[in-house]
Structure formats: C-alpha cells, structure tokens
Homo-oligomer: A and B are copies of this chain.
Amino acid sequence: MLSARARTAESSAIRDLLRHAESPGVLSLAGGLPSAAMFPVDDVVRAANGVLRDPSTLQYGLSEGSTELRTIVAGPSGDPDRIVITTGSQQALDLLGRVLLDPGDDIVVPDPCYVGARQALGASGATLVGVPGDVDGLDTDRLADRLAAGLRPKAVYVVANFDNPSGAVLAPVRRRMLVALAERYGFIIIEDDPYGALRYAGTEIDDIGPGSDRVVRLRTVSKTIAPGLRVGWLVGPQWLVDAVVVAKQSVDLHTSTVTQAVAAHLLGQDGWLDGHLAELRPWYRDQRDALVEALTEKLPGAAFSVPDGGMFLWVRLPDVDTAGLLPSAIRSGMAFVPGSAFAVDRDLGELLRLSFATVDRSQMGGAVDRLARSLARAA
C-alpha cells in the first residue's frame, strides 16, 4: 500500500537505538541539541508577549514568509524577495530536493554527510554521490576529477562552516574553486550554514561565492536562538526562490506566523543577536574544551582535530567498530553516533561523532569514562 518512496525511506536502526538512549541516566553526546541552559527564555517570553497582541500574528500568512522577517534577515543590502522562510533548514533541504531533483539526477554530498540532508535530498529519488573531504572540507580536487570524468550533478551540498559531523571548515581556496566548478558545469551549490555563528577561535571566512547566482544559502535560528521555533530561511536566485514558494504553499501553506514573529522581534532589535552570541560563544567554547580535555586524558587512543566552532568532535578510534560498540556504550550510560550513520560510500566504521553542546561540562568527564569503560570491555 505504501508508495515506493515510503518503502525505501532510510531505515534508522541507529536512530531507534539512540532514541532509547535519550533516557534519564544516559549522558548522551549523540544528539546535536543546543544547550537548553542557554536558550534566551526571558527574551523569547517578552517577544511572544509583544507580538501575540496583534491578531495578525495568529492569522494565515504568506507562503514565502512574513515580510517583516524576510526584510530583517535580508539586511539593508539584501532583497527580501530572494528569501523564503522555512520550517527550519531541514524543510529548505526538502523543498530544494523537490524543485531541483528528479529520479535519476545526481547530487554531490560530502562523505560523511549530515543524515537529515541525505534523507531530504534522497527523497527526491536522485542519486547521492559522496565526495570525501578532510580538515579543509570537501575535496574540490576530487570533485573536479569526477566532473572531468563526466559526472553532471544538479547540485552540490556543503556545510561550509563547522561541518556536521566532521567539524571541518571549507578552505577559502576551495570555496572559490567550488564556485568556478559550479559555473563551468552548471550546478547549484546548496550551502547549509547552521553553525557558522558558533565560532570560538580563528577568523570568519567569506561566504561561498558572494553574489553568485549559483549559490542557495540555508540559514536557521535553531542553533542561535532555539530549534523549537522551527524558523529558517533560504536565500537564492529568483527562479529558484519562485519555485520553492510554489512548493512551500503545497507542503504546509507557510511556517508558523507566531514563531516567525517571535524571531523577527528578536532579530529586529539592534544588537540583540550579537549580544546573545557573545554569551553563547564562550560558553560553547568551554564545553568543547571540556570534552577535548576529557578525551585527551581518558582516551589517549582517540584521534581528532579540535574544530574552531560548531557542536561536534569527529573522533577516530583505531581498530574499533563504533557501531558495534554503541549498544555497550548505552548500557554503560553514554551515547554517541557511530560514523557509519553518516557514511555515503566510505567505510567510516572507526569514527564516531561526539556532541559537546548538550551535556553540561561538569559531566563530560563522566561520559568519556563510560565510553572508555565500554571500550575496555569490548577489547
């Protein structure tokens, strides 16, 4: 009775396992949940009280999103008509899959790749072509080779800043090369940037192809304000934005006008976001440092780079099957995501992703102790 798409929807054994791991007593470094302790609750309450008094906040709204919010996120030099408000970035991925991809099309994704992107972009029936990366992000030389050999993707998906799961930042020279390849081979770059604002060290890098009509940018308040608002947006060329708006109307009419108004109220206050980020950044940096310290001390065999931002450490445990280790780790009272969950074509079985965002730093050492204990038992 189910459609072909529904029958082939990605099975999620690991997700099911991890779901049981989100129980009290388990220190989960698995999920990419921002810290609830840092949600700007008072400001959100004030914003809600401010906007809900206007009945239009509760009414149907435009499919492209509220004019107020689009104007604010466009900024003084941007064009609100090139923006669509989405129910988080996840919906932007789904909408782009719909309007860009047909079954049989190719789309390049990094290998490893954010699971939600794989699901949303794969739902179109397109083939996901994995291109590996390194600490400098997607390997654009490898991509160039594949293109020279005949690959003709409709789009290339990247998380250029503090990639999930790898933590990598796409190097400036690779950003420029990616745009050059997009222009030469006629593909769209889907640049997903949930973590860019969470930089703890180093200097900011220019966006991919500023001004290029080959780039569609995905933004969200999920990691900077709160994911429960489900407010994100995409910025792209007009032909693509127009198609996304038509699809958006069909999929949910529009994103909640209530949560859009709350986001607009906060983002529209001069300096509010900068002030909030000034609190978030050192807090997450300390979280990262606590996890790095715990790993260094308690798990000397673990190999990883320390990312300058984001939420994740991407850790190699040589000769360990991390997927096989997970049930034992959960029994020991901690959780992680095994590398295989992010794999497109590569064997990432020795890797695992640890989030430093969710668990309080005082418990980071305890979580790594439990991981070390389950490792010792497995050896």
Task: Mark A residues whose CB is within 8 Å of B.
Answer: 1-6, 9-10, 12, 31, 33-34, 36-37, 39, 41, 44-45, 48-49, 52-53, 55-61, 86-88, 90-91, 94, 98-102, 105, 116, 119-120, 123-124, 154, 186, 188, 222, 226-230, 239-240, 243, 246-247, 249-259, 262
Assembly CA distance A256 to B87 (angstroms)? 8
Chain A interface SS verdict (over half): helix
Which residue on chain B has the smallest CB distance to residue A227?
A: B60
Decide: A12 and B246 in contact? CB cutoff 8 A.
Answer: yes
With known contacts A98-B5, A258-B228, A44–B60 Cβ distance under 8 A: no
- Chain B residues contacting A2 (CB-CB under 8 Å) are 99-100, 239, 243
Decide: A56 and B41 in contact? CB cutoff 8 A.
Answer: no
15 cross-chain CB contacts under 8 A? A3-B98, A3-B99, A3-B105, A33-B59, A33-B60, A45-B53, A49-B49, A60-B222, A90-B251, A116-B249, A116-B253, A230-B255, A230-B257, A252-B252, A256-B258
Least CB distance from A344 to B in Å reads: 16
Which residue on chain B has the smallest CB distance to residue A86?
A: B252
- Chain B residues contacting A10 (CB-CB under 8 Å) are 246
- Chain B residues contacting A48 (CB-CB under 8 Å) are 45, 48-49, 52
Decide: B45 and A59 in contact? CB cutoff 8 A.
Answer: no
B36, B57, B251: which contacts A91 (Cβ < 8 A)? B251
- Chain B residues contacting A188 (CB-CB under 8 Å) are 1
Decide: B60 and A228 in contact? CB cutoff 8 A.
Answer: yes
